[in-house]
Structure 1
């Protein structure tokens, strides 16, 4: 683990084995932290907040520190994306593209910090009223296995920019880039104790959400984990931002070329092996072009190259674990039983050498589904695209919203009026039109319904790592004497 600028072991000495999911073979061990380890890390972070220099630095000094961290992360990008590819099995072309953007979050939040203005509020009478923002304190960040570096950067950069100290609990499956980033950022000039990482499993995550000294939790994970964290933080009125599950509807209208839509659909469904909360999971396709779309999507899925994630020719990697692979295969069987047609994939591929021990699943298309099927309603979190026909725009909107999740959505159409109309009608925190999964540091990221609460990225995230103090200053020369006034209600 990484606490107070040093590598430390778990209090118990226990360790976790980290596996390369492309081969099923161990690549590292890390400490298996539990509650006492979280307590130790929080104590360090609290001391750094209460008596350390970080919250007391000028905005300019803190912004410069974040910019130095961004430069250091950029310089280390080759090491980071190689490490992440080994740890979570995403093809190196994907991790290179994603991790090359990690420094952007630090530069963006440094810019927000440098440009931040305190509000002056209108007041009746002889008063000057203004607001000041202050950091919350010690913040906990819980990250998932699928995008560990990117999701860490989103929250960490905002928490640091606003003067907080941090304890991070990465997924027990993919802690390696988190540990590397914490070291790089600290060594670039962030004071020791400001960033702390506790590796471990469920017990460590629960203790972090329940800890009385944690002022805010930012969590990306499953809906049940988010529900548990929300309950824990609510007991002490701590803040929480939770990005949870999704079952992203992607509506394809018949005015869009079905082959081109299928190319976009393949990216939406199969990037990160479908292990993304905003993966295109439900394709609602207008009936007039439905057969053409399915045929084009099947053709594209069957050409996707599975293989060694470290090979630049590989287009799709494995599931994160054998457990996740078994879950995905079970859902494919459920789809068959429900009456969906396995139009592509649906099996474990045969791969050469050590890759055959990895946790791969073929890119899968379940066609001729209905929106009420379990495979259309429940999050599979794997490379499974479910395709459902529809007739009218109204029906497509109703089907898109008929789900307990509301994180992301997509619309493919050449009708500009329809694009805006449908995007507005979909109950989702984010909607892409004629594209998918695009993000920027300035774009708030988060969902509605059971997909969570709050926003990562954007000014919304930056502001939510602070609390507001309102200051009212009387600027009149005379004194305040309520009881000495001859006129009730008048202040002398």
Structure 2
């Protein structure tokens, strides 16, 4: 019997390190997505969550942080197995997830309503109210961390949430939903729907979704923006990137290569802010390329669950094949392959995994496809530049604007170049640094809006302005003795 759109379909969830199936997860049908939204709406309109005091809601968020922290080890292992990221990286990342819940609980406790200046006998103030049901769509590369950024802010401000994780990596998200229920969050405040693009489109286009927060590709973000615009719903979209890393010649090339290797190869390059485009000053270029190639070749590839492993697999065979195709494109375009460039020779069962060797393509020009398009794999493209003006021009010559990096010992130049680069986030002499208080997002085709920080917290609310007349006399606009007033 063939599957119809209304029939549940089981999707195999694959361990990318071996290619073996971990378990199956049903794809939600359109009707199940609609039902999840209805339950979330009922929980918002009639349930206890929005009616809780700030103190009560804040306590539950703090309790949720504690419960997540207590389950940390099982979450590390589960996410590592599901998306292939080395457990040392996953542990470092997921150990910070509780911080987002605590930070937004703190913002909730500290929130103040503004009192606005107003002429005459009036008290004018603002109140913030939750939007309603919000949808959060997360990617495969950082399932829980990216979810925590939006989910914690949405919950703190009193919304209910329907989450759609990547169809490739839903396991840790499903586990988190259970932990939140254990922490005491009421029924249907957080609901998870699973499946692929059709599920995401159903959620994004649903008339009762007040806001969508999406992390994914640029085309998915564009579709979400169109769908939400039709009903004037809000959208925050963190999309693709082609992060330029500018390396000046006053930095020791070995030191710069250490930072470059981390920027390029952490998470196997499967990060929107991965350092994928290195712009290196001509006078330091050859030494930097040699140092980065040595670093890339020395990275230990292997079982992600082994603490000694430094680089795991691509999330899927399709992603591995895309990365290998782009490496071939770079060589065809004239880039010089100085490290990596293929799949590693690994023993069983890892030979069935989706690994790609960390790769360095040198002598590229900024107009090559490998320097312009997001590869989303462990591929560092190195382009020379002449001076500061040339570096800034090359950094900005791209359709993306998510992240950027600057490496220099001249801090004045570091600030100056950071100011001139068109990107939502710029690191100086570091990379991937994030905090709950730091707004995260891009410009151009890297998206719109911000996750994290007070900006994200506020964007899950709408503002109501209240104007109260405090004068003792009555207003009789049309009275014979009333002089009248327009504003």
Range class of TM-score, shorter chain: over 0.9
SS at 1:356's partner residue?
helix
Take 2:431 and 2:413, find their aligned partners in 1: how far apart are those partners?
17
- In the alignment, which residue of structure 1 is the partner of 2:304? 309
Among 270, 278, 284, the alignment partner of 1:283 is 278
Among 120, 129, 136, the alignment partner of 1:134 is 129
Among 375, 379, 385, the alignment partner of 1:384 is 379
SS at 1:431's partner residue?
strand
1:411 partnered with 2:406 = yes
TM-score for both structures, normalised by structure 2: 0.98
1:48 partnered with 2:78 = no
Take 1:466 and 1:35, find their aligned partners in 2: how far apart are those partners?
28
- In the alignment, which residue of structure 1 is the partner of 2:99? 104
1:451 partnered with 2:446 = yes
- In the alignment, which residue of structure 1 is the partner of 2:25? 30
- In the alignment, which residue of structure 1 is the partner of 2:481? 486
Aligned residues: 482
SS at 1:264's partner residue?
helix
Take 2:211 and 2:177, find their aligned partners in 1: how far apart are those partners?
19
Q: Deviations over 1:273-310 (max 9, x none)?
A: 00000000100000000000000000000000000000
- In the alignment, which residue of structure 1 is the partner of 2:426? 431
- In the alignment, which residue of structure 2 is the partner of 1:3? none
SS at 2:349's partner residue?
helix
1:159 partnered with 2:159 = no
Q: Deviations over 1:223-271 (max 9, x none)?
A: 0000000000000000000000000000000011110000000000000
Take 1:416 and 1:490, find their aligned partners in 2: how far apart are those partners?
57
Among 304, 312, 319, the alignment partner of 1:324 is 319
Contact 1:118 1:132 in 2 (8 A): yes
Among 245, 255, 259, the alignment partner of 1:264 is 259
Quote how far apart the aligned CAs of 1:34 are.
Answer: 2.7
Take 2:163 and 2:48, find their aligned partners in 1: how far apart are those partners?
20
- In the alignment, which residue of structure 2 is the partner of 1:254? 249
Take 1:34 and 1:441, find their aligned partners in 2: how far apart are those partners?
34
Among 77, 81, 86, the alignment partner of 1:86 is 81
Among 416, 433, 437, the alignment partner of 1:442 is 437
Take 2:334 and 2:484, find their aligned partners in 1: how far apart are those partners?
75
Q: Deviations over 1:426-452 (max 9, x none)?
A: 000000000000000000000000000
Q: For residues 437 and 485 of structure 1, do their structure 2 counterparts lie closer, same or farther at Cα, with a shift above 3 Å needed?
A: farther
Contact 1:34 1:201 in 2 (8 A): no
Q: Deviations over 1:459-479 (max 9, x none)?
A: 000000000000000000011
Quote how far apart the aligned CAs of 1:486 are.
Answer: 3.3
Quote how far apart the aligned CAs of 1:483 are.
Answer: 1.3
1:174 partnered with 2:169 = yes
TM-score for both structures, normalised by structure 1: 0.97
Quote how far apart the aligned CAs of 1:35 are.
Answer: 1.4
Take 2:6 and 2:57, find their aligned partners in 1: how far apart are those partners?
33
Take 1:378 and 1:488, find their aligned partners in 2: how far apart are those partners?
66
Quote how far apart the aligned CAs of 1:75 are.
Answer: 0.1
Contact 2:64 2:179 in 1 (8 A): yes
1:20 partnered with 2:20 = no
Q: Deviations over 1:127-168 (max 9, x none)?
A: 000000000000000000000010011010000000000000
Quote how far apart the aligned CAs of 1:487 are.
Answer: 5.4
Quote how far apart the aligned CAs of 1:482 are.
Answer: 1.4
- In the alignment, which residue of structure 1 is the partner of 2:209? 214
Unaligned runs of at least 5 residues, structure 1: 1-9
Among 390, 396, 408, the alignment partner of 2:391 is 396
Take 1:357 and 1:367, find their aligned partners in 2: how far apart are those partners?
30
Take 2:221 and 2:213, find their aligned partners in 1: how far apart are those partners?
10
Take 1:424 and 1:478, find their aligned partners in 2: how far apart are those partners?
55
Among 108, 113, 120, the alignment partner of 1:113 is 108
Contact 1:127 1:473 in 2 (8 A): yes
- Moved >6 Å (runs of 4+): none
SS at 1:353's partner residue?
coil
1:231 partnered with 2:223 = no
Quote how far apart the aligned CAs of 1:36 are.
Answer: 1.2
Q: CA RMSD in A?
A: 0.9
SS at 1:285's partner residue?
strand
Contact 2:360 2:380 in 1 (8 A): yes
Q: Deviations over 1:193-223 (max 9, x none)?
A: 1000001111100000000000000000000
- In the alignment, which residue of structure 2 is the partner of 1:7? none
- In the alignment, which residue of structure 2 is the partner of 1:204? 199
Quote how far apart the aligned CAs of 1:11 are.
Answer: 6.1
SS at 1:444's partner residue?
coil
Take 2:357 and 2:245, find their aligned partners in 1: how far apart are those partners?
21
Q: For residues 127 and 331 of structure 1, do their structure 2 counterparts lie closer, same or farther at Cα, with a shift above 3 Å needed?
A: same
Within a 5 Å distance, the mapping from 1:322-401 to structure 2 comes to: 322-401=317-396
Contact 2:476 2:482 in 1 (8 A): no
